[in-house]
Structure 1
C-alpha cells in the first residue's frame, strides 16, 4: 500500500513538473526581457507600496498590471492566413540576382487587417508588408536574396509576429517550411579542346603493346595462349607459321582537377575564390564533353586529431550542377592538406591519369610545383594553374609541367588555349 502511494506521488509530481515546464517554455517564448521586468515589478511594487504606504509604488504596481493585461490582449486570436514560400530557382551564381516570393491568401470568412511578415534570409531578416486582404483574396510579395558569396543561403520559414506596442510580449508563428538556395561559384566556358591537352575522348595510342585493341602495330609469331581470333591467315599462308596481330594500347582520357584547400597555398580570400571558380570551370567543361574526370579537394584534419589526415575528398562529377553544388560549400582551412601532399595522394590513388590540373594560389612556390609534378608518371601532362590577381598573367614551362598564372577568371580561357597550342 505504501509503495503504491509512493509511486502515485512520484507520477503526480512528474506530471505537475512536466506541465509547469511546458507552461514555462510557452511563457518564455512569448514574454520578452522587458516583459519579465514588468511582471517582476508588479508584486514588488504592490507589496512594498502597501506595506510602507508609498502611493507612488502602488500606482506603479497597478499601472504595470494594466500594461501586462493590455499586452496580453495583443496575443489573442490567429490570422486566417495560408502562405507558400517559393524560390523560382534553387541554384544561383555569385553576383547574379536571385529572388524569392511569398504568396499570402486570406482563408477566413472576414476581411483581415494588414500585417508584417518576417522572412529570414541567411543572417538577415526581410520584412514584407502585406496590406488588408478581403476574404479569399491572394497577394504575392517578392524579395531579393543576396548572392554576394557562394554557399548555401537558408530562406524562411515565413513567420508573422504579434506584439504589443511597448514590446512586453512577442509571439512568432511560422507558416511555411524553410528552403535553401545554393549559390554556385562563377565559371567561364572553356573550349573543349583546351581540357584535353594530350589525348582525345576516344583515346589515342600509347607505346604499350597489347594483344587486343583497335590500333594495329605489327605481326608476330603465334604463342601459346594467344587469341586465335587475331591470327592473320594471309601472312600465315605465306610464311607457313601462324602469325597474329599485335596492337598499340589506347587509353581513354582521364582528367584530374586537384584543388588545394590549405590556407598555406593562398595569400588571401580573393585567390581562393578564384581557384574555386577555376576548378569549377575545368570540371564542368570536362563533364559536358563526356570525359572521364575526377575533381578532388584536400581533406581537412579534425581540430583535435592526433595525426594529420592524408587523403583527398572527391566531388560529384556525374552532373555539372552537382559538381558546382559541392564547390559551393568548400572552404579554405589551416588544417587542410597542402597541395604537395594532396598531389601525392592523387597520383598514388588514381590510375590512368592523362592530364592533371593543380589549382593553387600565389604562395605555392615553383619548387613545390616541381615536386608536385614529379609525383605523376612521365606520360601524364601536368598543368598548374596559379591564381594571383596581383601577378602578370602568362605561361611558363618548368621541369615536367606547364604553369599558367591568371589574375582574373576570364584569363583562364586564353591561357588554356595557349597551353594547348604549345602542347
Structure 2
C-alpha cells in the first residue's frame, strides 16, 4: 500500500510539473494557440470549437460555396448590365421550349427553341470588341436665361490606324435623351455634332455623360460604354433691369437720416433742454450761455438700408404656374438690382413641411446673395409646393430671424388676400417699409395702399419697373 501511494504521488507530481511547465511556456511569450475559446470569427460561428477532419471539411465546403456564390453574383451583375428585359425573356423561353417540345414531340416548339438560341448567339456577337474613339463633350455656356437658345457639342476623333465602324451615341439631357448615329471614321478623322438643349423651363439640367451603345437589331443585348463626365447647365429665371431711381424709397447704404429722433448720431436736427441722463458731450455751450439753461443737441437717426425679399413658395398663393414663374423673376430682378447697387440684401423663400410631420414647419431658407450669379443659381431650382408656408408665415419668420430691415418686399400670387397681406405687413417693426408685389397676369397693373402697406399688382414682368417708380413717387 505504501508503494502504491508513493507511485501515485510521483505521478501527480509529474503531472503538476508538466502543467507548470506549460504555464511557464505560455507566460514566457509563446504564440502557440491550442484552443478556439473566445474567438468570434466565421469558423467558430459555423463549427464552434470543434477540430478535426470533419470540421475542416465543413469549413472547406463553406469557403468553396462562398467563392462560387461571389462568382455567380458577379456574372449575373455583368449579364444584367448587357441583357435587356426582352433578352431575359428569351433566355427563359429556350429551356422551356426545348424541354416541353422534346417531351411531347412537338417539332414546331423545338424549332422555336433552337431559333431563339441561335438569335441569342448572334446577338452576343454584337458585344464583342471595343471602339477606340476619343469623345469630348462641350457645353459653351454653363448658364443661360430661360427661353434662350442653348447647345452642346460632341467631338469624336479616331486616333487609331484603322477605320472604326459607326456606333450609336446617347447624351442624356435632363429627363430627355439625345441620340446620334456616329458614322464610320477613317484613320485620324474627326466628327463634330451640335445638339440643342431645351431651355423652356427654369432649372438645372444635367447633360451627359456621353455613352456609346452596342446593341443587336432585335434588342436582346445592349452594352454601354461611358466616355465623358456629366456637366450642369443652369437655366436662370428671366429678369429685367430696374434703375436705382426706381427704388428711391430705399435708404442709402451709408445711412441717410430718417424722421426718427435720437440722442446720438451724426445728422443734427435741433436743440432741446437738458434732461437727466443726457451725455454732457452733446451740450451746446453757446446756446447754454445765451439762454442760461443747459441745451443739448438732438439728432436724426441714420440707418443702413437692409433690403429683404421674401418669396412665397406656397401653391395656394398662386392661381397658375405662370404666376409663380413671374414671382420668381420678380424676386430675381429685385435681388440682382440690390446686389448691383452694393446694398445689404437678403432673399428668403418658404420652407416645406415634411410629408408626415405632425406640425407645420415655420422656417424660411435664405438664398445666396454674394453675387448676382449665385442668387440666380439658387432661384433656378426653387419649386412651389402645397406644403410650403404661405406669405403671412414667411413674413413673420423673416421679421423674427433678420434684424435691421428697412424695406421688405413680399412677392406672392393673385390668390393672396388683402387680409393675408395686412397680417404679413404687421409682422415687421414700425418704420419698416413693406411693399407687396402681387403677380396676376389677368389684371390691370396698379398701386394701392392697404393699411399702411403698398401693394403693387403687375400683369407682366415689365410692369415692375413702372410700378416701383410710382411707389417711390408716392
TM-score of the superposed pair, with normalisation by structure 2 = 0.83
1:209 aligns with 2:262: yes
Q: Secondary structure at the match of 1:117?
A: strand
Aligned to 1:306: 358
* Structure 2 Cα separation of the partners of residues 179 and 385 of structure 1: 36
Q: Which has the higher mean CA deviation after the structures are superposed, 34-43 or 408-417?
A: 34-43
The corresponding residue for 1:334 is 386
Shift of 1:242: 9.5
2:172 is the alignment partner of 1:120: yes
Aligned to 2:222: 170
Equivalent-residue separation in structure 1 for 2:422 and 2:111 (angstroms) = 84
Q: 1:393 aligns with which of 440, 445, 457?
A: 445
1:29 to 68, 81, 84: 81
SS in 2 for 1:79: coil
Question: Can you list the C-alpha shifts for 1:265-302, whole angstroms capped at 9, x where unaligned?
Answer: 11121111111111111111101110011111111111
Q: CA deviation at 1:238?
A: 8.3
The partner residue of 1:95 within 147, 150, 165 is: 147
Do the aligned partners of 2:318 and 2:324 also contact (CA within 8 Å) in 1?
A: yes
Distance in 1 separating the partners of 2:58 and 2:292: 106
Structure 1 position 244, deviation (Å)? 7.1
* Inter-partner Cα distance in structure 2 for 1:350 and 1:227: 34
1:224-271, Cα deviation, whole Å (9 max, x unpaired): 89586x787877998999987654331011111111111121112111
Instruction: State the Cα deviation string for residues 193-239 of structure 1 (Å, max 9, x = none).
Output: 2234141232211323143x4323356769889586x7878779989
1:174 CA displacement: 1.2
Moved more, 216-225 or 179-188: 216-225
- Which of 282, 295, 320 is 1:268 aligned to? 320
Give a deviation string over 1:46-68, Cα, whole Å, max 9, x none.
33333433333333232222211
CA deviation vs aligned residue, 1:361-418 (integer Å, no higher than 9, x gap):
1111112212222222231111111101111111111211111111111111111111
Give the length in aligned residue pairs.
420
2:472 is aligned to: 420
- Structure (1 or 2) with the larger CA radius of gyration: 2
Q: 1:43 maps to which residue? A: 95
Q: How far off its partner does 1:331 sit?
A: 1.1
Give the structure 2 partner of residue 360 of structure 1.
Answer: 412
Provide the secondary structure at the position in 2 that maps to 1:88. coil
Separation of aligned partners in 1, 2:472 and 2:321: 29
For the structure 1 residues 132 and 315, does the alpha-carbon distance in structure 2 shift closer, same or farther, using more than 3 Å as the test? same
Distance 2:401 2:116 in 1: 72
Query: Which protein has greater RCO, CA pairs closer than 8 Å, 6+ apart?
Result: 1
Structure 2: segments with no counterpart, 5+ residues: 1-51
Q: Deviations over 1:126-158 (max 9, x none)?
A: 112322212233322111110111111111111
- For residues 280 and 367 of structure 2, the distance between their equivalents in structure 1, rounded to whole angstroms, comes to 40
1:149 lines up with 2:201 in the alignment: yes
Q: 1:88 & 1:195 partners in 2: Cα distance?
A: 36
- Confirm or deny: 8 A CA contact 2:261 2:298 kept in the other structure: no
| Residue of structure 1 aligned with 2:307, choices 238, 255, 259 | 255
RMSD: 2.4
Could you say which structure has the higher strand fraction? Answer: 1
Q: 1:84 offset after TM fit, Å?
A: 1.5
| Structure 1: tracts of 5 or more residues without a match | none
1:6 CA displacement: 3.2
Give the 3-state SS of the residue equivalent to 1:290 in structure 2. coil
Tell me if the contact between 1:389 and 1:406 (Cα under 8 Å) persists in the aligned partners.
yes
